């Protein structure tokens, strides 16, 4: 057994053990399982948010884009900073509503604000369909990293199945707290790997960042300004993509839901202030991609750039370390994704949609059962179609960003009606999906999700203006009246 293999296996088993240990002595109800009893301080919240945001896609995708596309990759550096700025203003308000009404998920928020269980079911459905490709991508990415890093000693399928079992185990036992604890290991390993490689390879091949930049500017200057080495990712595309991803960021059900774990809205606000520092590793990942484009040009798959360059530069045991970091970097977001997808199904589709009287312990049991179901579905896709769901992930991002008008209007504009939000959300999703599936993304240089978002906002505003009734009187006429999940709506 090679040293690389030992390191990879040791790290993923220890991580899972830590995750399981995190949940000892915790009585598992929905409150503890999904939102950690609303007791997380600034450190755990930071780890949790960083844990779900930095995925295998960041690791391989950011270096891969810097390698094959060039400057358009810079959007990855930008959108996080803008998303944290937005979160500074809206997340504490969402947390307060969550605390007051005991909310666990994003659809709970819609149900409470708009007093509409139907809207909650719609949001939950869009959420689950957006999460599954994301989850599948984590599993596929993990298999890919471990196979390359162990030099083929662990086949991709084997790695995926092992990680699947371990992740199910600690989500099942410990819920969100397990994910937050494993995120500690993940963060330390990932940052160490990125710092060592990010400073290392430019220094080894060029003698530093300045010399690397000189080399790229001399050899391929157009790579470093928009549209880089792509035909259509011009500055308009970058601007609209930054806006879609920055607005969509906290609209992912798992990221939105994690905010409820904080112990106060001040923790959320302070976290928003420090989060942008977490963007710095992305710059280092770009440097690795740019070094690769000079040293090993012509790779067919740009996502391989990071691993290929490490393989060529460092000893095999270090590859094991990178592989271990990559594996845990997939397991943490996978855990949080599956946890929230399961809760959406059990609480917001089964209970809110069909069985309002279902007791909480039955919903909790169903949530845990759904962890295994949803992970199995994603496992199936990851093994069967490892490369074919990236377009679906893009569709997922464009899908969840359509929640943004509903959330923001819900917080700041008391006149907006549930019918308007329904119509806006459905139109936005349909427009974005139609553009993507008909290969019209980008449309006139603009990101399709952004086009959908504009249509969505316009529809929501127009219907609210013309219907002219306040939110409460509309919900009075609704078939869902009076059977909301909690103590009624916010008014």
Partner 1 sequence: MKKGTRLALILGAIPFITLVFALPLVNRIRPLVLGLPFLLFWILLWVLLTPLILFIAYRLEARFNPPDDGDEP
Task: Note the residues at the interface with partner 1 (CB under 8 A).
Answer: 71, 74, 77-78, 81-82, 84-86, 88-89, 96, 99, 209-210, 213-214, 217, 221, 224-226, 235, 238-239, 242-243, 263-266, 269-270, 272-277, 279-280, 283
Q: SS3 for 106?
A: helix
Contact 333, 258 (CB under 8 A): no
Nearer of residues 85 and 478 to partner 1, judged by Cβ: 85
Smallest gap from residue 104 Cβ to partner 1 (A): 17
Cis peptide before 442 (omega within 30 of 0): yes
135 in the Ramachandran plot: left (φ > 0), alpha (ψ -120 to 50) or beta? alpha
Tokens of 410: 């819900």
State the chain's maximal CA–CA distance in angstroms: 71
Smallest gap from residue 402 Cβ to partner 1 (A): 20
Smallest gap from residue 285 Cβ to partner 1 (A): 13
Smallest gap from residue 82 Cβ to partner 1 (A): 6
Cis peptide before 27 (omega within 30 of 0): no
Smallest gap from residue 232 Cβ to partner 1 (A): 15
Interatomic CA distance for residues 238 and 370, integer angstroms: 37
Q: 41: how many CB neighbours lie within 10 A of its CB? A: 13
Nearer of residues 282 and 339 to partner 1, judged by Cβ: 282
Nearer of residues 118 and 276 to partner 1, judged by Cβ: 276
Smallest gap from residue 353 Cβ to partner 1 (A): 31
DSSP annotation of 53 reads: H
Smallest gap from residue 7 Cβ to partner 1 (A): 33
Smallest gap from residue 270 Cβ to partner 1 (A): 7
DSSP string, 442-478: SBTTB-HHHHHHHHHHHHHHHHHHHH---HHHHHHTS
Nearer of residues 89 and 385 to partner 1, judged by Cβ: 89
Contact 297, 75 (CB under 8 A): no
Tokens of 161: 């199945």
Interatomic CA distance for residues 481 and 63, integer angstroms: 50
Helices (H) and strands (E) in the chain, counts: 23, 0
Nearer of residues 276 and 316 to partner 1, judged by Cβ: 276
Nearer of residues 224 and 433 to partner 1, judged by Cβ: 224
Nearer of residues 31 and 308 to partner 1, judged by Cβ: 31
Interatomic CA distance for residues 13 and 353, integer angstroms: 38
Tokens of 2: 């090679």
Q: At what angle do helices 360-384 and 117-149 cross, to 10 degrees?
A: 40
CA nearest neighbour of 385 among 139, 104, 105? 139
Nearer of residues 77 and 161 to partner 1, judged by Cβ: 77
CA nearest neighbour of 53 among 243, 190, 165, 149? 190
Nearer of residues 71 and 160 to partner 1, judged by Cβ: 71
Interatomic CA distance for residues 236 and 285, integer angstroms: 24
Smallest gap from residue 482 Cβ to partner 1 (A): 26
Smallest gap from residue 273 Cβ to partner 1 (A): 4
DSSP string, 369-390: HHHHHHHHHHHHHHHH-TTS-H
Nearer of residues 96 and 362 to partner 1, judged by Cβ: 96
Smallest gap from residue 325 Cβ to partner 1 (A): 23
Nearer of residues 54 and 321 to partner 1, judged by Cβ: 54
């Amino acid at each position: 057994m090679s040293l690389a293999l030992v390191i990879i296996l040791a790290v993923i088993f220890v991580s899972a053990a830590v995750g399981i240990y995190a949940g000892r002595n915790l009585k598992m109800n929905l409150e503890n399982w999904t939102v950690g009893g609303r007791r997380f301080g600034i450190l755990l919240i930071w780890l949790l948010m960083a844990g779900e945001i930095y995925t295998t896609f960041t690791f391989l995708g950011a270096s891969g884009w810097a390698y094959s596309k060039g400057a358009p990759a810079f959007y990855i550096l930008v959108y996080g900073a803008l998303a944290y700025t937005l979160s500074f203003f809206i997340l504490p308000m969402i947390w307060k509503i969550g605390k007051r009404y005991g909310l666990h998920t994003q659809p709970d928020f819609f149900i409470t604000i708009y007093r509409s269980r139907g809207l909650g079911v719609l949001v939950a459905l869009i959420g689950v369909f957006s999460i599954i490709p994301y989850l599948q991508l984590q599993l596929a990415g993990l298999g890919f990293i471990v196979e390359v890093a162990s030099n083929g000693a662990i086949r991709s399928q084997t790695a995926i199945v092992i990680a699947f079992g371990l992740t199910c185990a600690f989500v099942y036992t410990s819920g969100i707290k397990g994910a937050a604890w494993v995120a500690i290991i993940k963060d330390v390993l990932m940052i160490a790997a990125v710092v060592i490689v990010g400073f290392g390879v430019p220094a080894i091949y060029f003698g530093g960042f300045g010399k690397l930049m000189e080399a790229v500017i001399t050899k391929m200057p157009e790579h470093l300004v928009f549209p880089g080495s792509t035909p259509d990712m011009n500055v308009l595309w970058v601007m609209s993509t930054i806006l879609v991803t920055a607005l969509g960021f906290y609209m992912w059900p798992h990221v939105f839901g994690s905010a409820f774990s904080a112990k106060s809205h001040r923790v959320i606000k302070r976290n928003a202030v420090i989060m942008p520092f977490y963007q710095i590793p992305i710059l280092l990942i770009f440097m690795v991609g740019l070094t690769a484009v000079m040293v090993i040009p012509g790779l067919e798959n740009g996502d391989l750039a990071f691993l290929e360059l490490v393989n060529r530069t460092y000893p095999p045991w270090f590859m094991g370390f990178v592989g271990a970091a990559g594996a845990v970097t997939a397991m943490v977001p996978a855990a949080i994704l599956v946890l929230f997808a399961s809760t959406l199904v059990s609480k917001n589709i089964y209970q809110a949609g069909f069985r309002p009287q279902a007791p909480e312990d039955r919903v909790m049991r169903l949530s845990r059962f759904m962890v295994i179901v949803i992970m199995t579905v994603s496992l199936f896709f990851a093994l069967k179609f490892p490369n074919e769901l990236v377009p679906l992930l893009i569709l997922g991002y464009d899908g969840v960003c359509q929640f943004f008008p509903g959330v923001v209007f819900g917080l700041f504009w008391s006149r907006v009606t549930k019918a308007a939000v329904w119509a806006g959300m459905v139109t936005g999703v349909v427009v974005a999906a139609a553009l993507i599936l008909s290969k019209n993304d980008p449309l006139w240089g603009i990101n399709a999700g952004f086009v959908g978002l504009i249509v969505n906002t316009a529809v929501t505003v127009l219907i609210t203006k013309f219907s002219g009734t306040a939110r409460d009187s509309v919900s009075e006429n609704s078939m869902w009246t009076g059977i909301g999940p909690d103590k009624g709506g916010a008014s």
